[in-house]
Chain A
């Protein structure tokens, strides 16, 4: 009887520990991301604007030649007014989609080069805001300040704004799609200028992927 009493108390204690873990996962992780976002924003805002490279052939806008940020560096600011991301401040997007990168904020899917390894990089050429191709951004849905918490609320025509050091580029949502987690729907290169936001679906689960497609409308 005494053993059962002690074992019961032990199970209750472990249960309380699991609840503590859930609380840390859902809210505690946000404190870390919030601090990282403040630091990234400060560094990004301090760095000077750069002159874009305009392709003389098709007039498309590109970052300066040789632009090749390191993992976890802030690369652009992402704002989605329709869902008031981060109280309309938006999120700094970091380079890379590794576990540590995504703890800091949404991550830009990089090309495979030193510092990035498969499967967390693409064999295709990296696409940046303003360029023809697919800018892919991955982010947390419910943890680490949940940047893409309300991504499912986006509707066709909603604005997705990317502020880079070589210009501001606005995309409009063209499609919201839910796919299987192993789907390669976003890995297909595109000839048009697109942004793709991807996260887990439904909330608090990873059984599906939520994908938002946007098309460049201005630069």
Chain B
């Protein structure tokens, strides 16, 4: 079954949000997980 471009775009946006959320969480805990003078 061929998917519509809207459906593909929606799924891409969802996975992009997952990527951004991962990056934001890591940025928020960066001070705890990275050594002081890294």
A residues in contact (CB < 8 Å) with B? 9-10, 12-14, 16-18, 20-21, 24-25, 97, 99, 102, 138-143, 148, 181, 198-200, 204, 206
Contacts and interface: CB of A to CB of B under 8 A. Distances in A.
Contact of A24 (B15, B23, B31, B36): B23
Contacts, number: 63
A140 B16 CA distance: 31
B20 to A, nearest CB: 7
Interface residues of B, number: 17
Nearest to A142: B38
A25 B37 contact: no
A200 B35 CA distance: 9
A117 B20 CA distance: 35
A14 B37 contact: no
B27 A206 contact: no
Contacts of B19: 13-14, 16-17, 20
Quick one: which of A21, A25, A199 has the most chain B CB within 10 A? A21
Given A17-B22, A20-B20, A12 B15 contact: yes
Interface in B3-31: 15-16, 18-23, 26-27, 30-31
B15 A21 contact: no
B18 to A, nearest CB: 4
A140 B22 contact: no
A13 B18 contact: yes
